[in-house]
Amino acid sequence: MIVRALRSARQSERRVTTENWESIRLLLESDGMGFSLHVTTIRAGTTTPMWYQNHLEAVLCIAGEGEVQELESDAVHPIKPGTMYALDRHDKHVLRATTTMRTVCVFNPPLKGKEVHDASGAYPLDAEAICDKGVSAARGGGRSDAGA
Ligand code: 9YT
């Protein structure tokens, strides 16, 4: 079992930041789950164009609000806590955060670790990996840093 705390992940290289967002990458490719799991904070007032040509992503908003616009159809969807959007067709899109937004995101295939958007809005497949596994848990041979 893997147990990992957001607070300690934020103090590690699992925290990746850009001008528009901060991403705490709780699960990555090296964890062997087949997907990555992130808690992403989008800064208020930002507009972020994205186009995940190499990944599928689902995003669940848990705080704050904004909107996501599909660039193929121009459809605009309000985003608020409890709303999920899934980029099941590698959809080219723009995310606008009206207030600071907190989201939980999953990526398939999983991110390796250090990905930030390239010029097209994608994450490259050859990004630098993060492999910290946390310390061994007392039971079950798992990995835990939840108390850290
Ligand atoms: C909501 C969104 O896609 N923001 C960009 C960051 C990404 N979710 C990540 O790397 O965590």
Instruction: Find out whether the beta carbon of 105 lies less than 6 Å from any atom of ligand 1.
Output: yes
Quick check: CB of 55 below 6 Å from ligand 1? no
The ligand 1 atom at the shortest distance from the C-alpha of residue 40 is 11
Model-level pTM?
Answer: 0.91
User: Among residues of the chain, what percentage have pLDDT more than 70?
Assistant: 91
pLDDT, tens digit (0-9, with 9 covering 90-100), for 98-123:
999 999 999 999 999 999 999 999 99
What would you measure as the largest C-alpha separation in the chain, in angstroms?
52
Determine the pLDDT at residue 142: 61
CA of 107 to the centre of ligand 1 (A): 9
**Per-residue pLDDT tens digits for 33-74:** 999 999 999 999 999 999 999 999 999 999 999 999 999 999
State the closest ligand 1 atom to the C-alpha of 116, by its place in the atom list counted from 1.
10
In contact, 134 and 2? CB cutoff 8 Å: yes
pLDDT above 60 for 148: no
Residue 57 parent element (H or E) = strand 56-63
